[in-house]
Copies of this chain bind each other. A is one copy, B any other.
């Protein structure tokens, strides 16, 4: 089957999948757990074939690590599925209800978006996670994984697809695309695909965002800032700066730049450097930073770089305004933190920083669907429409308007003897 046919099948399947009951969807998710556990050996063997080929092709060690899908990954995937079963059905929720006139009632009701295109690099666990999120939310899904995980992806997609169909999902609800040209095909399918969710490196996500007119849910860069204000508790600022930078460096919500108010720089920076030195963090500082502590000189590009490593850039600023301007200029609209004891400044920071997550006196690392209590995470979005920040299942949902009347026509509400609308919330 070619990609267009797969997309057409998904387009048909979405209608029935969107009306599949909550029980059937949960039974499908349970079938997937059973399937993954029953075919454990075959999955690991398929993954081993991918790993062997990747090793032969000298794939880099971090890529090999992400490619690995072993017993533990299967267990984690099953845990994720079990927790997804516990979530409420996101479909059919009445978001708003208004009586327009007697006997004419309007309901805004949640429904799936339709067909989600998922493009991901390496990690086969992303396939299980996103396919099951689509299933729970009633969306058909077209999956395009990395070539290096072809064997693993094939068996996983097959288990998920047949498990769901056995529970009542329509054939064609899940399509796996495999050839290299399929990504470009998918990006051009604005008639079939309603939303694209990319999972991969910054460069990969940016490429996707720039090459499609289909909406893309996600983020490329995560250039997060911690601003230590003049009114900050410096012990707290130290804890937060260290956690934001070092708790896990290879993630989008780790801090890349520290902004320090000039009133604090002289006392704070030496203490910070001591701790960063202990942790092996390389510091690149502006001139005013270099006047206080011994650091490499930051260049313009540093302010716009997501290191994803034990490196941090530091800039001393004159004011909250300068900090906010710097963040809005160089940041990626992901997560930015102020450490301050001043309530008014905290509020101004939260209002004026144009980012998905604006935090006061806590670590940037809290920016995460699980920590936010969303139950499931579709991704973290730096979009300005639809869904922003950590996105749960609601990111895969939209709504439709149901209007139920009893022969009502617009002509009765226009002209000289026009009836009036009641517009009463119900």
Contact = CB atoms under 8 A, between A and B. Distances in A.
B366 A100 contact: yes
B372 A401 contact: yes
Nearest to A390: B401
A contacts with B: majority SS: mixed
A401 B357 CA distance: 5
Contacts of A235: 407
A13 to B, nearest CB: 12
B98 A402 contact: no
Contact of A354 (B114, B358, B365, B384): B114
Interface in A10-34: 14-16, 18-19
Copies of this protein chain in the complex = 2
A123 interface: no
A388 B215 CA distance: 14
Nearest to A11: B328
A210 interface: yes
Interface stretch (A257-265, A266-274, A282-290, A345-353): A345-353
22 contacts: A15-B328, A15-B352, A104-B366, A106-B373, A114-B354, A114-B384, A217-B385, A235-B407, A239-B409, A242-B409, A243-B410, A243-B411, A247-B410, A247-B411, A350-B402, A357-B400, A357-B401, A360-B402, A362-B408, A366-B410, A384-B398, A388-B400
Interface of A: 14-16, 18-19, 98, 100, 104, 106, 113-114, 194-195, 209-210, 212-213, 215, 217, 233, 235-236, 239-240, 242-243, 247-248, 324, 328, 346, 348, 350-352, 354-363, 365-367, 371-373, 383-386, 388-390, 398-411, 413-414, 421, 423
